[in-house]
C-alpha cells in the first residue's frame, strides 16, 4: 500500500530499548533516527507523516533510515 509504513510488531522490551535509543544523547544520531522511525511506524503513522515529523524525505522513512534529517538551529 503506497504511503503506509510496513506493519511493525515489537515486544514491550524492544519498544523500551528503541525509546532509550531514540532519546539518548550518547547514541549515534543515525541509530537514534532509525529507532524513531520504527517507533512511529509501530504507532501506525504513514510514511509521509513519519517523514514530516522527523524532517526527512519520504523515501528515507519508507526504507527505514537515511541522512535526510534537517539540522537543528540554535
Domain ranges of the chain: 12-63
Q: Which residue has the higher pLDDT, 55 or 31?
A: 31
**7-35 tens-digit pLDDT:** 889 999 999 999 999 999 999 999 999 99
Query: What pLDDT, on the 0 to 100 scale, is given for residue 61?
Result: 47
pLDDT beyond 70 at 51: yes
Q: Which residue has the higher pLDDT, 65 or 50?
A: 50
**Closest by CA position to 31, among listed 53, 72, 64:** 64
pLDDT beyond 60 at 50: yes
DSSP label of 3 = T
Alpha-carbon span 49 to 4, nearest angstrom? 10
Return the number of other C-beta atoms located less than 10 Å from residue 32's C-beta: 19
pTM given for the model: 0.68
Amino acid at each position: 500500500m503506497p504511503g503506509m509504513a510496513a506493519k511493525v510488531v515489537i515486544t514491550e522490551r524492544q519498544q523500551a530499548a528503541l525509546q532509550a535509543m531514540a532519546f539518548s544523547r550518547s547514541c549515534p544520531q543515525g541509530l537514534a533516527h532509525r529507532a524513531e522511525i520504527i517507533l512511529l511506524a509501530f504507532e501506525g503513522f504513514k510514511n509521509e507523516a513519519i517523514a514530516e515529523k522527523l524532517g526527512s524525505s519520504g523515501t528515507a522513512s519508507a526504507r527505514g533510515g537515511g541522512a535526510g534529517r534537517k539540522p537543528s538551529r540554535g
